[in-house]
Amino acid sequence: MRPGLNLAISTVRAWNNIGRHPRIVAPANASRTQIVFHNPGCVDILVAPVIVVHDPHERDDCRPDHDRPHWGEQLPDQWREHHREIPLQRPPVPVGNRPLHPGPHRRGGCLLVYGNGGDLPISGNVTMAWQAFAVEGGDHPLTVIELT
């Protein structure tokens, strides 16, 4: 047994089919106080919360380039002439939550669990759902231990 783990007050989930597409490996649990991801396989696995804090003015890789708001870009001369008296200011940033859609080429928000016995213990506010995917194709193992 790993130091600090009390299996009497925990839930152990075994996965043997973690592939390149994210899947939920730990549903939300309001009484969870710690979660440990253990990788007994030889391929690195990435884990991430399903919901993350989001600043709507940050670049979002799920949106096409032409839809992204960018406050530092040059405005057309006609717009500047028409709105000369109005100073351009960035509006207040409403911070909120949004789903995270990670993948092999979108790893922001993910945490790495190294292959060949890597452990990733996380404590604190870990009540949200967690997802995982492998950096290489195939079916790979992952063990998830939740302490409540």
User: What does the alpha-carbon distance between residue 11 and residue 147 come to, in Å, rounded to a whole number?
Assistant: 7
Cβ neighbours of residue 140 closer than 8 Å, sequence gap 6 or more: 16, 17, 18, 19, 39, 41, 43, 45, 134
Cβ neighbours of residue 45 closer than 8 Å, sequence gap 6 or more: 18, 37, 39, 112, 113, 115, 132, 133, 134, 135, 140, 142
pTM of the full structure: 0.69
The CATH number of the structural domain formed by 7-54+74-147 is 2.60.120
pLDDT in tens, the chain (148 residues): 455 555 666 799 999 999 999 999 999 999 999 999 999 999 999 999 999 876 665 555 544 444 434 444 455 555 555 555 555 555 555 567 888 889 888 898 899 999 999 999 999 989 999 999 999 989 999 999 999 8
